[in-house]
A and B are shown apart, each in its own frame.
Chain A
Amino acid sequence: MKARWHLVLIPSLLLSLFLLLSSQIAFLRGSFFKDLRLGRIGTELTVENYVRFFTDSLYLDSLILTIRLSATVAILTLAIGFPVAYILARMRSRWSLVLLAAIIAASFITIVIKVLGLIIIFSSGGTLNRLLVGSGLLERPLTIMGEPAGVVVGLMHFTMGFAVLLLYGVIKTIPRSLEEAAEIHGAPRRRVFLRVIVPLSLPGIVVTSLIVFNLCMGAFTSAALIGGGKVFTLPVLIQQTVIMQTRYAMGATVSAVLMTVTLLINALSVFVMARFDRRRGMVA
């Protein structure tokens, strides 16, 4: 009587694998041949593109920058989004859903539109900077466009909706009674939050930060439009290598490295999480 669920999976798997492998093999295969520009590649197998990637500071710096930016966005999005998700999840009014909906909607409006607004907001003569400088909070106007900080802000606009929605779902599954019990025993709310809520939602936090991190590793539009031509993340570099320089083999190499590194970081976090879980299990 047992359903053969793996049979259900097969058509989807075949289709997805076909699209994934055929498109990626056609492209990534080039990374093992000499780059002759204009989409042309040599005939002999070689790893010189990979050697070049790992010996050239341009690519290595870009890899490090991409990881750093993505990690920063993941941490900031989590740090800001978690309390938001928590407040919304514990709100007793219908407004919580309206607010949640608004956050998601705002998050998904394409950055192409938002970037114009961001330029105005952070312009040195703009209201924000006049307030900041006028009130003496800052000495010089805050300019983040064309800086990594601006790219971080742009990416956070994009990831916040995902994060809040995912975390909201996680926190909702934690019974409110747990907090109330702890509070009755005299624990202050902050302690309850840090000792009960955060540990219980840790798996959700890890999953959410990985999703945010992965999204940022592949994001092109924010870095290209807000980076002001100075923030060369790997996707920006890939676009430039393939489209401007028509170096498809080198572009394929950069993108193979980007994918591998992202997968490794994911695998590593899952592994560390599993170890951590086991240790906690033993202590308890």
Chain B
Amino acid sequence: MTNLDRRQVLTGMTATGIGLVAAPRFATAQQPRFDGVTLRVATFGGGWDRAVHKYAGVKLEALGAKVEYVTAPPRDNLAKLIAAKGRPAPFDVVEMGDLTWVDTYEAGFLQKIDLANVPNRKDLLPSQSDEWKVASWVTQEGIVYNAEKFAANGIPKPERYRDLLNPKLAGKLCLIDITQAGASQLLVGASIDEGGSMTNIEPALKFVKDANPFQFWKVGAQAVTLMNSGDIWASTMHAGFAVQMRRAGLPVAFSHPKVGPTKRGLLKEGWLGVVKGSPVPRAAEFFINEYVSAETQFGLATERGVVPVNGQARAKLAGDPLLKEMFLLSDADVGNMVSVDFNVFNLDDATQRWARAVSTR
């Protein structure tokens, strides 16, 4: 409790300080100070937290703050918010997958962001920020496949999800597990392509059942290891994995599946929000602004294989032939990708039907 009290007092002090200097916001000489502030960021573990800190966290710390990371998968962090309901916020900034964003928002765990404090949003697409959330990264979901094995066995390059039903691929295929962010993109993509929609996912469930994959991967390392051992020749995952595997010497290629007559590829976004009741909203907004800066976004892309939300960073990536091959980078291509609308797509229902469709008896 004492900890919180101190934090609140300090916030008060900082807020007053900001009030005084807020007007000439872009005058760099007058940057706000965050001395004594502790910002708690809920994000992914496994090194992602370190990469975020290296680019964005240090900027805040240079101004006197301390940044702490609460690392867990987004769904577990949501569970922490649910447990803490009606009490002081367990963290200040929360990073969410697209589905978790809908739930976190609906449950009333977020507070509005003062977008004036996030000037870097000028480099983002208009749909990628509003007063509740700012996009933090994009992954491009699709099909990673072993090009050598495909060629040797006379399997054509997969253009659509249904191409994975090729009998020559029986038992050689992994699909993403329903518990992983990215499964929604598979369900929606496969549904729309087979005449279904975001509300009618039966075609996709049929596809998943027919595909009868070797495994549904829960841990990225699992699918990558199976790809290396030759147990599987293709897996639905995001393009970042294809980059990783190619750099490690595997002969993989990536296909952005066609969805319906005109669309191609699927987008999955990560979102940043400020937790309701956070005592340090100004520091949270500063951190979010640094998170979407061209420098951070470029760093995360090269280190972690995500696609930047920042247009400048994306343009810079096009200079790397491998990334250019694996990712869709131009604004036109990105604009033609499918996004899942989680206000329409019901993952709760999909999760239950998935379990029924695939569980072993």
B82, B222, B361: which contacts A119 (Cβ < 8 A)?
B222
Residues of A within 8 A of B230 (CB): 123-125
A38 and B106 form a contact (CB under 8 A): yes
Judged by a CB distance under 8 angstroms, whether B214 is at the interface is yes
Interchain CB contact under 8 A, B75 and A146:
no
Q: A38-B106, A39-B85, A123-B231 are in contact. Are A116 and B355 (CB under 8 A)?
A: no
A224 adjacent to B218 (CB under 8 Å) = yes
A233-247 interface code vs B (CB 8 A; 1 in, 0 out) = 000010010111111
Residue A29 interfacial (CB < 8 Å) = no
A115 to B221, CA, bound (A): 11
> B355 contacts which of A40, A237, A248 (Cβ < 8 Å)?
A237
Is B68 among interface residues, defined by CB-CB distance under 8 A? no
A147 within 8 A of B: yes
Partner of B351, one of A57, A124, A240: A240
Residue-wise, chain B 45-83 has the 8 Å CB interface mask toward A (1 for contact) of: 000000000000000000000000000000110110011
B218 touches A58 (CB 8 A): no
* A83-132, CB < 8 A from B: 115-116, 119-120, 123-126
Q: How far is the CB of A241 from chain B (nearest CB, A)?
A: 9
Let me know if B103 and A38 touch, CB within 8 A: yes
Determine which residue in B78, B222, B347, B356 has the highest number of CB atoms from chain A within 10 A of its CB, and name it: B222
- Judging by beta carbons under 8 Å apart, are A245 and B351 in contact? yes
Report the minimum CB–CB distance from B269 to chain A (whole Å). Answer: 19
Could you say which of B79, B82, B83, B217 contacts A229, with CB atoms under 8 Å apart? B217
Residues of A near B82 (CB, < 8 A) are 38-39, 246, 248
Tell me the A37-60 residues at the B interface (CB within 8 Å): 37-40, 57-58
A224 to B308, CA, bound (A): 31
* Pair B360/A58 contact, Cβ less than 8 Å: no
- Check B161 for interface membership: any CB of A closer than 8 A: no
Asked if B219 is at the interface (CB within 8 A of a chain A CB), the reply is yes
| Inter-subunit contact B225/A120 (CB<8 Å) | yes
Known pairs A119-B222, A230-B215, A246-B103; A37 contacts B355 (CB<8 A): no
B348–A37 CB distance below 8 A:
yes
A39 close to B107 (CB less than 8 A): yes
B179 touches A (CB below 8 Å): yes
Contacts of B79 in A (CB 8 A): 39, 242-243, 246
Q: Are A231 and B231 in contact (CB under 8 A)?
A: no
Q: Is A232 part of the binding interface, using a Cβ–Cβ cutoff of 8 Å?
A: yes
Interface assignment of A183: CB less than 8 Å from any CB of chain B: no
Instruction: Closest B residue to A112 by CB, please name it.
Output: B219
The tally of residues in B whose CB lies under 8 Å from a CB in A reads 37
Q: Confirm or deny: A143 has a beta carbon within 8 angstroms of a beta carbon on chain B.
A: yes
In whole Å, how far is A103's beta carbon from the nearest beta carbon of chain B? 27
Find out whether the CB atom of A229 lies under 8 angstroms from the CB atom of B178. yes
State in angstroms the CA–CA spacing of A248 and B78 once bound together: 12
Docked pose: A225 CA to B215 CA in angstroms:
11
A62 with B359: CB separation less than 8 A: yes
Q: Does B3 contact A (CB under 8 A)?
A: no
Nearest residue, chain A, Cβ from B178: A229
Residues of A within 8 A of B107 (CB): 38-40
A165 adjacent to chain B (CB < 8 Å): no
Which chain B residue lies CB-closest to A243?
A: B75
- Is A228 engaged at the interface, CB distance under 8 Å to the other chain? yes
- B89 is an interface residue with CB less than 8 A from chain A: no
Question: B325 to chain A: closest CB distance in Å?
Answer: 27
Bitwise interface map of A from 244 to 260 toward B, beta carbon under 8 Å scored 1, else 0: 11111000000000000
CB-CB contacts below 8 Å: A57-89 with B: 57-58, 61-62, 65
Q: A246 CA to B77 CA in the complex, in Å? A: 12
CB B294 to nearest CB in A, in angstroms, measures 34
By a CB distance below 8 angstroms, the chain A residues around B106 are: 38
| Neighbouring B residues of A245 by C-beta, 8 Å | 348, 351-352
The 7 A-B residue pairs whose C-beta atoms are closest, nearest first, are A229-B216, A228-B215, A39-B82, A123-B229, A146-B215, A229-B177, A38-B107
12 contacts between A and B (CB under 8 A): A38-B103, A40-B107, A61-B359, A61-B361, A65-B361, A125-B229, A143-B231, A229-B177, A229-B215, A243-B76, A243-B179, A244-B347
Interface residues of B (CB under 8 A from A): 75-76, 78-79, 82-83, 85, 103, 106-107, 171, 177-179, 214-219, 221-222, 225-226, 229-231, 347-348, 351-352, 355-356, 358-361
